[in-house]
Every structure is written in C-alpha cells, then in structure tokens.
Structure 1
Amino acid sequence: MLTTVSRGFFRGEEEREMGFRSALRNAHPGRTLVEVTDSDGPDATQRDLVLRALRRDPDIRAVYSIGGGNAATIQAFEELGRGYEVFIAHDLDHDNTRLLRERRLSAVLHHDLRQDMRRACQIIMRANGALPDEGPSLPSPIQVVTPYNMPPDVA
C-alpha cells in the first residue's frame, strides 16, 4: 500500500498518517506501507516520487493519499501501465470530484469546512459569553464520499 503525504510536518497530515498506520497495524499486521513524502504539492514532483516508489515495489496495489497530488499519483500508475485496487483521498475539491466521477478514486474522506468554521465561531462566542454554554463540542463529522453517493450538486 502506498501512502502519500505532502510534507511530514503538517500536523493534520501527520495525525492522519499516524492513525492510519496504527489502524493498519492492528487490522493487518503483515501489510507493508510504502511512503511518498515531501512533494510539497506540485504535480510533477508528486508524479516523479510515485514513479520511483512504484518502480521499487511492484506489489503496490492500493493508495491512501493523505496530502493530495492525486491526479499526479494516478498518472504515475498509468505511465507504468499499472492499476490499483483502492484509492482513498482527502477533501472533496475540484480535482477529487472529477476523479470520483471518473471512478478513478474509490472514496474521498471529506470535512465540511463551512461547518467546521461555524462550529469554531460558536465555540469562541460561547467562551466569551455571547452564546449559552452547551457542554463539550463534538468532533467534526467526516463524510465518506464515493462515486455512488456523491451529491449531484458538487462541482
């Protein structure tokens, strides 16, 4: 399994990767992870890093993309004439929406950033007495979006 992280010191990506490694270790102790990191986002860099990883390890058949560059990752697989069984990505942006519609991504883990911002503002307002305290705030829900449940109004 290939994991891609744009930069190892981004806290959100780092936490996603640690959680994934822990879950995989518990569920599939012998599974090998190949990590691609430090692309910093540009597609050409991501493509080159993934090409190197795929050439080194012909058994890679799945991708968990923590940091983006998904079109470039797919391009690397295609350049080598290789497929993948599962490709999980983060964030329902323009590229990932297109890749989901084309069925080139299996699923996208999506946070509603508007809802997150609304919650953050409410927490700040409660802390300053502008809203009544409603107890502890729940974590932001994660939506698992697939080609089969993608809302039709997503661009």
Structure 2
Amino acid sequence: MVKMTLEDVAREAGVSLATVDRVVNGRIGVHARTIQRVNAAIKQLGFLPDPHASRLARGRDYDFRIILPTGENEFMQALAAEFRATRERQLQERVRLTIQYVDTFDGEALATALEKLPRGIDGVAVVALDHPAVTEAINTLADSGVVVLTLVSDVPNSRRAHYVGIDNFAAGRTAASLIGRFVGTRKGKVGMIAGSLALRDHVERQFGFEQVLAREYPNLEVLPVREARDENARVEAVCRSLIEDHPDTVAIYNAGGGQAGVIAALETSGRTSDMIFVAHELTSSTRRHLVRGTIDAIINQDVGHMARSAARILTALKEGRPIVSGQEHIRIDIFLRDNMP
C-alpha cells in the first residue's frame, strides 16, 4: 500500500500544499468550502497525518505531568519505575513525562498540586481522590484545554478525559469469589482492609466484594471495613486488632497497599497457615509470600501496561486521534503460586 502525502491531498483537492497544511493542523484562514474539499480528499485517499511531523511543526515537545502518591506503597513505586522507563522511550517521540509526588490521601493537598501545575502543559495523569476540591481542580484543567487522565482510582463525575486502570468493581467481586472458594464450607468472618474509602477504587472494590459474599456465600460474614492509608505499620495494627477482636475470622482481603503489614500480623498471631489472604498487586515481596503460601491469591494490574497506555492516550487525545480500546484495556490478572510470570 502506497502511503499518501500532503502533496497527494493537495492535488486531489485542487488546492495548494500550504492550504492543506493549514487544514490538517487546524490553523485559521481557510474558507469553509475549501476545508470541506480538503477533508473530502483526505477521506477519499485514506490520508493519515504523521504525528511525529506534527510535533516537529509545533516547535516544542508535549509536556505531560504524572502525579503519583507519596509513601511506601510498592505498587505505586513499581508504577513510578515504569513511567520512568516510558519517559526515556517517549523522548524520541518529542513527548516529555514529568513525575511528581503528592499525598493523594489528602484531597486539599492534591487539589492544590493540580492547581499549581504550570500553565501551558498539555496533559496530566493523576492517581486521584474522589474529593470535591480535586474534582474542581480537574474540571478547571480540562476547561483550560489540558488533557486529564485518572490513574488507578477514577473520578468519573469530573471532566477528566479518560480513566486508566482495572474495573475495580470486578476486582472486588473476584476477591470475594476467590475467598469463598478457598474457605469452602467453613463458617466464619471475613475482614477487609482499605487504604481509604475516599479512594474510589477502594470503595468500588468494597462494593463488589460485599455484593458477592452476601449473595453467594451465606456462611461468611463480612466485617466492617477498616482503613489504614496503605501504610505497613497501620495495616499491621489494624489487622492485629481485627484478629484479636474476631478470633473466628477465616479470611482477609486487603484492597489496597501495605501487604507486609497483613503478613506481619498473621505471623505474629500464628495464623499464616489457616487464614485465607487475598491481596492486590504482584511485587517482589508479595511474590515471595505467594510462593510461601502466606498469600493465597493476588489480583494484579500490569504497571508497565498502565504507564505505556497513559502516555499513548495522553498523546492521542492531544492530537485528536482515536484511542484503540482493545490496546488500552487494563486487564485483571489473577496469580496463584503456580502461574506467576
């Protein structure tokens, strides 16, 4: 197949090359009827603009900001590492990714960070808190022409352009099904730990989790969710308290980070062998404990896919190109010790 050029479009439309260039790049000064003729020629020839040439014509790189949470969450650290790797590859495409860290559990702090982003940036991808001030900050950016993506945790009532992450309702339902099958016919209580119920991904996981257990596993009672900000020490304290308060607990689902805290609490209480534990995200430490049997199953989302997808979507939306939904769909992976990659 021969690749069509701007010259081919100009010849087909009967206009100058400069006119075609103005139409393709959305510049003013072209009559409406001429724009129609050029667009008809583009459609007739199947012309696809060269994004790299378009970026060269802009005279500067795309400036995208990536806002990730502070703290010890291993998944977020792995996501940051993948964004750094993606950043190196994107430089040759004239795309710059700048990473900054904010306490995303603090709605006001996150909103302030979004408000203080420099004018003229092209887009931002943010691990977002579902908070009124954050929603307003996202809307202000979107209204100013900045492409805004939410990562991992969504704010669907905002004017963000796209969400990059797994279906968290489905993740919670998956965790419930795994625990129900692992526990079998035993009766007992199930504890759930979240980072924060202000994070929409954790709320969605809670909803899906409780929905399936209540409907399909009447032998299991879900305890009220406990929050621990994805911090190992807090998670350990919450988990130890949960086990002490409810000795008949048979399973724990940690919907956020801080898996090391759950493991420490299980080891201290001597419950590593009889407590079913379903966690999120395959990291170096969770991998080790999955092999040892302390963790029974891990629900995972591919951090490399997420970082690359975010960069592709930011660029596509800025250039007005369609998003390839099949390519950008972030799948839910389930890992047992028998199928780890």
Would you say same fold, with TM above 0.5?
Answer: yes
- In the TM superposition, what whole-angstrom CA distance separates every residue of 1:79-109 from its partner, at most 9, and x where no partner exists? 2233434211111122212211222111111
1:48/1:134 Cα in 2 relative to 1: closer, same or farther (>3 Å)?
A: closer
1:42/1:119 Cα in 2 relative to 1: closer, same or farther (>3 Å)?
A: closer
Structure 1: how far apart are the matches of 2:267 and 2:191?
15
The residue aligned with 1:16 is 205
Structure 1: how far apart are the matches of 2:287 and 2:324?
36
1:105/1:140 Cα in 2 relative to 1: closer, same or farther (>3 Å)?
A: same
Would you say the 8 A contact 1:47–1:72 is kept in 2? yes
The residue aligned with 2:231 is 42
C-alpha displacement of 1:130: 6.3
Q: What are the ranges of 5 or more consecutive residues in structure 1 without an aligned counterpart?
A: none
Structure 2: how far apart are the matches of 1:19 and 1:107?
17
Q: Which moved more, 1:11-20 or 1:136-145?
A: 136-145
The residue aligned with 1:71 is 260
Would you say the 8 A contact 1:36–1:53 is kept in 2? no
Structure 2: how far apart are the matches of 1:52 and 1:117?
36
Would you say the 8 A contact 1:67–1:90 is kept in 2? yes
Structure 2: how far apart are the matches of 1:81 and 1:114?
36
Q: Which moved more, 1:6-15 or 1:26-35?
A: 26-35
Tell me the number of residue pairs that the alignment of Structure 1 and Structure 2 aligns. Answer: 150
Q: 1:25 aligns with which of 193, 210, 214?
A: 214
Q: 1:116 aligns with which of 301, 306, 314?
A: 306
1:38/1:129 Cα in 2 relative to 1: closer, same or farther (>3 Å)?
A: same
Superposition pairs of residues 126-141 of structure 1, within 5 angstroms? 126-129=316-319, 131=321, 133=322, 136-137=325-326, 139-141=329-331
Instruction: Determine which structure has more spread, i.e. the larger CA radius of gyration.
Output: 2
* Greater relative contact order, per chain length (Cα 8 Å cut-off, separation 6+): 1
Structure 2 residue 180 is the aligned partner of structure 1 residue 3:
no
**Structure (1/2) with the larger helix percentage:** 2
C-alpha displacement of 1:32: 0.9
Percent pairwise identity: 25
Structure 2: how far apart are the matches of 1:25 and 1:126?
42
1:134/1:52 Cα in 2 relative to 1: closer, same or farther (>3 Å)?
A: closer
For normalisation by structure 1, the TM-score amounts to 0.81
Q: 1:107 aligns with which of 294, 297, 309?
A: 297
Would you say the 8 A contact 2:297–2:334 is kept in 1? yes
Would you say the 8 A contact 2:317–2:323 is kept in 1? no
RMSD between aligned residues: 2.3
C-alpha displacement of 1:149: 0.7
For normalisation by structure 2, the TM-score amounts to 0.40
- In the TM superposition, what whole-angstrom CA distance separates every residue of 1:97-126 from its partner, at most 9, and x where no partner exists? 221122211111111122122223333333
